[in-house]
């Protein structure tokens, strides 16, 4: 029984411990075990439970008694603080009210200052932009407005494809290949309000990531990751397509994706407070700018189409203005435009070289015929021609220049217009634009047109008549240069008297071309003379000459006379020089004919008559006859047979035969010694002296002595 009582007590202790330590949901099964035990065991358990409760009550009472005094003290202190807190709260409220009253006026003044500064900044920006627009006057201003409209289009079409790993994750706004949303692409051509970057891009993934890393205390890790990834993406954006230079769309796509990248970075810079810094964006932009300039410099050099280069320039201007609006420095881009301008001018020069060549090839090199007043006005409307004498003439009449002159003049003006297109929207003053136009026009005249004229003059099909017309044409084009000066002045509104204004020095082009044409005239005349002389064929069977020139030489004389008749349209000095040059060359050729071992007989009487006839007016005295002085004195010596005088006066300045060289005279006498030939040269000059062979021998010996003495002396 004692054992049972002990077991019951132990069991009751276990049950009490379970009740104290177990969840109340498990108390039921535990209590059931009490009733399943021996009879009346539950009464003993209840007594045990009451005892345990009284024990816990005593422990609770002890604990309360232990902490009661501290609690009472804390309540007492709190009651004391409440009064002070109420007093402090009143003081704080009063201080806050007084601060609000004092700061209300300061706040109003601050807001007014901010508003005034915004107005001041806007006014300064407006004045600056207006000053940039003033030099170009109304057309230039209209072009600037057009550029601004295009700038909005660029902002609207920014390419954001390279940023997709960061902010294209939401899946809500599908993007096209050019970075525009579907809705934006559909409305691209419509004149709606310009969409901002927030409208096109969902930045929430970036913001969430930044917030999470910040809460976790690891913001720096995300910042470094973001910046590293954006540098990689920037390099991808800056990589151009290999055929980008072939179409304007290639350049446009390249610029759009770069604009998109940096517009996003600018937004992140201002929206996230430290995810990127101005130093980081500046570093990215400087790296990008160097790459952009290198790419554009390379690809623009491949462009041969001036229209494409002009489109590229417009895109660069829009691109630069857009990025400048976001605070990125773009001076280097405008410096690059000067290189692109040079490339543009080169493509223009190549294009106009073909234009000039076609004009020269289609010209008939004849004076322009005008049948009536209408045709006359049509010509002078394209070319500034004024001549009082020609204006007095009755119709039909001819203008001195050929049809290529007004065409060349019109094309030079077209070139100036084309060159001006590049200067638009470059934010340059009228003086700078005027200087650019004059320099490019000088290049057109002195390089392109000059080269075309020089090549034209050397062409085989250009004869003497054409050369004369070219000289006349270049004279009129030279006179027209002053009108080109006025033309440039009118379109740039810059006075030619302005300091440092570049002058048109293209006058040298026409002077050089005219001198080249004159030289070619002299060369072709001499070649024609040589052709006539080479065709000369004398009959070996002629017994005696009748004292007249051969038919070939008569043809030559007639050719020269008709040619010099054409030269009447040339300036006097040119015609006289050509005539003198031809006569000197003819005299030299005839002298060579006399000394030719195969020559049978020749007469130059008509040649001398030709020289005496003054085929070109303006020669003084016997100037033209001096070209034949060597021949005349030689012939006089043989005709008069005045050897004693020649030998006696030889070497004297007053000698009648001063121009006769002993070697030449000896060569002719040697040919006369051969009496076995029936065709004796100059036989008509010595009909009565055929038996004077001894005299000839004596003269020959004396001439040989002179020649030998001359050779030993030399």
And the tokens for 428?
């340059």
Residues 152 and 483: their CA atoms lie apart, in Å, by: 41
Contact between residue 175 and residue 181 where contact means Cβ atoms under 8 Å apart: yes
Q: Report the sign of the C-alpha dihedral through residues 16, 17, 18, 24, in that order.
A: positive
Q: pLDDT exceeding 90 applies to what percent of the chain? A: 27
pLDDT the model gives residue 593: 73
What are the φ and ψ backbone dihedral angles of 18, each rounded to 5 degrees? -65, -40
> Coil, strand, or helix at residue 109?
helix
Instruction: List alpha helices for 459-506, DSSP H.
Output: 464-492
Residue 326 burial (10 A CB sphere; 0-12, 13-18, 19+): middle
Average confidence (pLDDT) over 335-339: 89
pLDDT the model gives residue 378: 92
pLDDT the model gives residue 500: 55
Residue 39: its H or E element: none
More confident residue, 141 or 649: 649
Average pLDDT over all residues of the chain: 77
What are the φ and ψ backbone dihedral angles of 684, each rounded to 5 degrees? -70, -15
Confidence of residue 39 (pLDDT cuts 50, 70, 90): low
**For 641, left (φ over 0), alpha (ψ -120 to 50), or beta?**
left
Cα angle value 29/34/36 (rounded, 5°): 90
Residues 638 and 682: their CA atoms lie apart, in Å, by: 8
* Tokens 């003059």, located at residue: 457
- Report pTM: 0.60
pLDDT at 147 over 80: no
Contact between residue 180 and residue 260 where contact means Cβ atoms under 8 Å apart: no
Residues 245 and 251: their CA atoms lie apart, in Å, by: 7
pLDDT the model gives residue 5: 65
pLDDT the model gives residue 83: 82
pLDDT the model gives residue 622: 63
Gyration radius (Cα) of the chain, Å: 55
Q: What is the pLDDT of residues 592-621, one digit of tens each?
A: 777 766 655 555 555 565 655 556 665 655
Pairing status of strand 397-399 against strand 368-370: antiparallel
- Peptide linkage before 229 cis (omega within 30 of 0): no
pLDDT the model gives residue 204: 87
Residues 693 and 568: their CA atoms lie apart, in Å, by: 51
Of the ranges 100-109, 161-170, 679-688, which one carries the lowest mean pLDDT score?
161-170
Q: What is the pLDDT of residues 62-98, one digit of tens each?
A: 888 888 888 888 888 888 888 888 888 888 998 888 8
Residues 166 and 162: their CA atoms lie apart, in Å, by: 9
Residues 6+ apart with CB under 8 A from 388: none
Residue 398: its H or E element: strand 397-399
Q: How far apart are the first and last CA of the chain?
A: 175
Confidence of residue 673 (pLDDT cuts 50, 70, 90): low
Residues 6+ apart with CB under 8 A from 208: none
Nearest by Cα to 504 from 526, 477, 522: 477
Residues 89 and 212: their CA atoms lie apart, in Å, by: 38
* Tokens 């009879």, located at residue: 39
* Tokens 């170009």, located at residue: 136
Q: What is the pLDDT of residues 351-406, one digit of tens each?
A: 999 999 999 999 999 999 999 999 999 999 999 998 888 888 898 999 999 999 99
Average confidence (pLDDT) over 450-458: 94
pLDDT at 676 over 50: no
Residues 111 and 464: their CA atoms lie apart, in Å, by: 87
> Coil, strand, or helix at residue 497?
coil
Residues 262 and 320: their CA atoms lie apart, in Å, by: 12
pLDDT at 161 over 50: no
Residue 266 burial (10 A CB sphere; 0-12, 13-18, 19+): buried
pLDDT the model gives residue 477: 92
More confident residue, 66 or 233: 233
Calculate the CA 599 to chain-centre distance: 65
C-alpha to C-alpha distances, 511 to 203, 365, 506, 520, 650, nearest whole angstrom = 69, 19, 9, 14, 46
Nearest by Cα to 509 from 487, 489, 484, 539: 484
Q: Which residues of 546-581 are buried (b: 16+ CB within 10 A; e: fewer)?
A: eeebbeebeebbebbeebbeebeebeeebbbbbbbb
Residues 6+ apart with CB under 8 A from 363: 402, 403, 404
Q: Report the sign of the C-alpha dihedral through residues 590, 592, 595, 597, in that order.
A: negative
In sequence order, what are the beta bridge partners of 369? 398
């Amino acid at each position: 029984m004692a054992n049972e009582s002990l077991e019951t007590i132990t069991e009751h202790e276990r049950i009490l411990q379970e009740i104290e330590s177990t969840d109340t949901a498990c108390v039921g099964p535990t209590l059931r075990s009490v009733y399943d035990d021996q009879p009346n065991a539950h009464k003993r358990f209840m007594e045990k439970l009451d005892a345990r409760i009284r024990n816990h009550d005593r422990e609770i009472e002890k604990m309360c008694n232990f902490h009661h005094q501290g609690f009472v003290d804390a309540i007492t202190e709190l009651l004391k603080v409440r009064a002070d807190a109420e007093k402090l709260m009143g003081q704080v409220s009063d201080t806050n009210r007084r601060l609000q009253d004092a700061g209300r006026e300061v706040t109003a003044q601050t807001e007014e200052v901010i508003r005034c500064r915004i107005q001041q900044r806007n006014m300064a920006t407006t004045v600056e932009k207006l000053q940039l627009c003033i030099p170009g006057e109304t057309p230039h201003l209209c072009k600037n407005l057009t550029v601004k409209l295009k700038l909005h289009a660029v902002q609207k079409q920014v390419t954001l494809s390279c940023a997709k790993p960061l902010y294209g994750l939401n899946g809500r706004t599908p993007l096209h290949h050019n970075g525009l949303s579907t809705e934006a692409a559909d409305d691209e051509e419509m004149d709606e309000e310009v969409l901002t970057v927030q409208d096109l891009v969902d930045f929430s993934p970036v913001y969430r990531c930044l917030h999470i890393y910040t809460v976790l205390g690891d913001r720096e890790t995300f910042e470094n990751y973001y910046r590293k990834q954006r540098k990689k993406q920037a390099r991808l954006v800056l990589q151009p397509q290999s055929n980008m230079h072939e179409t304007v769309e290639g350049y446009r796509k390249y610029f759009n994706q770069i604009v998109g990248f940096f517009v996003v970075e600018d937004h992140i810079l201002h929206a996230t407070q430290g995810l990127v810094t101005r130093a980081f964006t500046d570093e990215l932009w400087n790296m990008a700018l160097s790459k952009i300039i290198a790419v554009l410099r390379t690809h623009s050099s491949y462009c041969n189409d001036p229209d494409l280069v002009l489109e590229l320039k417009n895109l660069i201007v829009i691109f630069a203005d857009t990025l400048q609006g976001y605070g990125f420095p773009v001076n280097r881009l405008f410096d690059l435009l000067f290189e692109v301008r040079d490339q543009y001018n080169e493509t223009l020069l190549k294009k106009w070289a073909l234009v000039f060549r076609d004009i020269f090839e289609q010209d008939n090199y004849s004076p322009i015929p005008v049948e009536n007043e209408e045709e006359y006005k049509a010509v002078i409307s394209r070319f500034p021609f004024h001549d009082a004498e020609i204006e007095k003439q009755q119709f039909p009449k001819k203008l001195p220049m050929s049809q290529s002159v007004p065409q060349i003049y019109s094309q030079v003006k077209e070139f100036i217009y084309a060159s001006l297109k590049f200067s638009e929207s470059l934010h340059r003053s009228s003086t700078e634009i005027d200087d650019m136009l004059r320099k490019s026009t000088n290049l057109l005249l002195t390089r392109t047109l000059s080269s075309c004229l020089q090549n034209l003059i050397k062409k085989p099909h250009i004869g003497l008549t054409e050369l004369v017309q070219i000289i006349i044409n270049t004279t009129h084009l030279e006179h027209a240069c002053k009108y080109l000066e006025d033309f440039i002045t009118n379109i740039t509104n810059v006075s030619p008297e302005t300091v440092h204004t570049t002058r048109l020095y293209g006058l040298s082009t026409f002077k050089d071309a005219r001198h080249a044409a004159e030289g070619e005239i002299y060369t072709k005349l001499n070649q024609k003379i040589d052709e006539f002389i080479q065709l000369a064929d004398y009959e070996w069977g002629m017994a005696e000459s009748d004292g007249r020139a051969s038919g070939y030489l008569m043809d030559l004389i007639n050719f020269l006379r008709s040619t010099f008749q054409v030269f009447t349209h040339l300036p006097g000095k040119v015609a006289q020089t050509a005539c003198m040059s031809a006569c000197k060359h003819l005299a030299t050729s005839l002298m060579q004919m006399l000394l030719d071992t195969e020559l049978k007989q020749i007469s130059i009487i008509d040649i001398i008559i030709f020289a005496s006839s003054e085929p070109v007016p303006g020669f003084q005295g016997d100037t033209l006859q001096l070209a034949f002085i060597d021949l005349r004195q030689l012939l006089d010596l043989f005709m008069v047979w005045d050897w004693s005088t020649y030998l006696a006066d030889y070497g004297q300045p007053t000698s009648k035969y001063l121009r006769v060289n002993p070697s030449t005279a000896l060569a002719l006498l040697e040919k006369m010694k051969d009496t076995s030939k029936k065709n004796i040269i100059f036989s008509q000059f010595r009909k009565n002296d055929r038996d004077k062979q001894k005299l000839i021998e004596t003269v020959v010996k004396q001439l040989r002595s002179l020649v030998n003495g001359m050779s030993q002396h030399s």
